[in-house]
Amino acid sequence: MNGYLDESNFMMVKEGFTTRNLLENLLVELCPASDRQALFMADLGDIVKKHLRFLKALPRVKPYFPVKCNGSEGVLRLLAELGAGFACANKAEITRVQSIGVPADKIFYSSPCKQVAHLKYAASHGVQLMAFDNEVELSKVARSHPRARMLLGVTADSSPSAHPNMAFGATIKSCRHLLETAKEQAVEVVGISFHLGSPGLEPQAFEQAVAAAQLAFEMGTELGYRMHLLDVGGGFPGTEDARARFEELAAAINSALDLYFPNGCGVEIIARPGRFYVSSAFSFAASITAREEAPAEQPGSDGRCLWPPGHPHPLRPLLLCPQRCCPDPPWHSSSLCGPAGCDEDRIADGLKLPELHVGDWLIFEDMGAYTIAAPTPLREGPQPHITYAMSHLAWKAVQLCQGKLPQTEDDRERVCAPLSCGWEMAETLSIAPVFAPAGII
């Protein structure tokens, strides 16, 4: 073990629990006088399972987890223990992962827009791998971090509408000029990076992007750079309701890699999967502190669903209320607001919910991605309360990983074995894991 995570960081639970079951147990036990209004429950074993799934589907690709997706301590410690790297957007995220002991060579300062002070911080803390996609960033790096190893961020398609989330990245046309400018400024370029955006990615988008990356690799090589690192970004789905399954996207990436960057070509491949790792691992519970019956003309009160017909609302809260459980309660069109209660703090409108009372708890599943940021000076205030849980089998798999990514098929089998007798087998046989009431050991 690498010492990032130990048994004091989580509660060990029996196989077969779900975060929802654990939350329900926790809330029933919560003292009525408690002032806790909201809490997360995280199944670290779900992240272990995702990691093994990632390694199996993309054996050539090393994951760098984007800290902005979930900066919670349990997630960072677990992923460090499993040997993952980290993609950081700023100095605060670098500090955060270094504070738990992650070495600088496992950190990718991936934001294409960097403050000079943050660049200097990276330089003085040994973080060398970073990305750029324009001349302004290049000259900042040349001045502030002469030892940086740069990935040039590219877009796969010249029409911005093709990937509306892809806010960054140089077009293939501008790559040669940027690489020449880097050469003039003595900046070392080691590879190419792209991020296609998420969610709803189609497999062909990856094929197109890997092909574009290979063109940029050739330009770099022609200019005398030793190009040896390709970053295929993030965007992999975190839940099973996505348009393309993770394995489908992985198959497209693998075939594109075989075509454009075949095994043995000397190019190392990395990715930045965020939501894939953490979405399904977290459930969130929030209590109702106040309620108001709105007049019919207000949004959410008129039975109008603000979501297109046939599309389930992305937020699907469940009411935890054993004492008032009734199989078919009357539904009310409802709006949920955060603590400020103002328009800007509106969480959802047009939800169909049973009548809610002060003190009721709502449970939201799949809440692990982009819900918990690493604390920064700009984001002060109380951090959300998170309880981490993991089963014995998942913990055994973590111990077998020992911080090293299994390289060979044999290594991968050895690490996956403890979990394959549980979840993986249930998956293969299409049997939902049997729910055993979550006994907390």
Calculate ∠ Cα 275-289-73, nearest 5°.
35
Question: Which CB sits closer to ligand PLP, 9 or 171?
Answer: 171
Rg (CA), the chain: 23
Which tokens hold the place of 169?
Answer: 């990245």
Nearer to ligand PLP, 138 or 369 (CB): 369
Please say which residue, 20 or 272, places its beta carbon nearer to ligand PLP. 272
CB atoms near residue 339 (< 10 Å): 11
Nearer to ligand PLP, 272 or 353 (CB): 272
* Residue number with CB closer to ligand PLP (199 or 300): 199
Min dist CB 156 to ligand PLP, Å, is 14
Minimum distance from residue 199 beta carbon to ligand PLP (Å): 6
Q: How far is the CB of 355 from ligand PLP (least distance, A)?
A: 36
> What torsion do the CA atoms of 42, 45, 51, 55 make, to the nearest 10 degrees?
-170
**Quick one: 109 or 225, whose CB is closer to ligand PLP?**
109
Q: How far apart are CA 415 and CA 406, in angstroms?
A: 8
Cβ-contact 108, 231 below 8 angstroms:
yes
| Minimum distance, C-beta of residue 234 to ligand PLP, in the bound complex (Å) | 3
CB nearer ligand PLP, residue 45 or residue 66: 66
Q: How far apart are the first and last CA of the chain?
A: 22
For residues 117-149, b (16+ Cβ closer than 10 Å) or e, as one string? Answer: ebbebbbeeebbbbbbbbeebbebbbebbeebb
DSSP codes joined into one string, 29-96: HS-TT----EEEEEEHHHHHHHHHHHHHH-TTEEEEEEGGG---HHHHHHHHHTT-EEEESSHHHHHH
Distance CA 434, CA 17 (A): 9
- Closest CB to ligand PLP among residues 260, 276: 276
Phi, psi of 275 (to 5 degrees): -55, -30
Instruction: Note whether 419 and 433 are within 8 A (CB).
Output: no
CB of 270 to ligand PLP, least distance (A): 11
CB 187 within 8 A of CB 142: yes
Distance CA 386, CA 230 (A): 35
> Closest distance between ligand PLP and the C-beta of residue 92, in Å?
16
Tell the smallest beta-carbon distance from residue 389 to ligand PLP (Å).
23
- Point out which residues bind ligand PLP (CB under 6 A): 66, 69, 110, 195, 198, 233-236, 272-276, 369
Question: Cβ of residue 338: shortest distance to ligand PLP, in angstroms?
Answer: 22
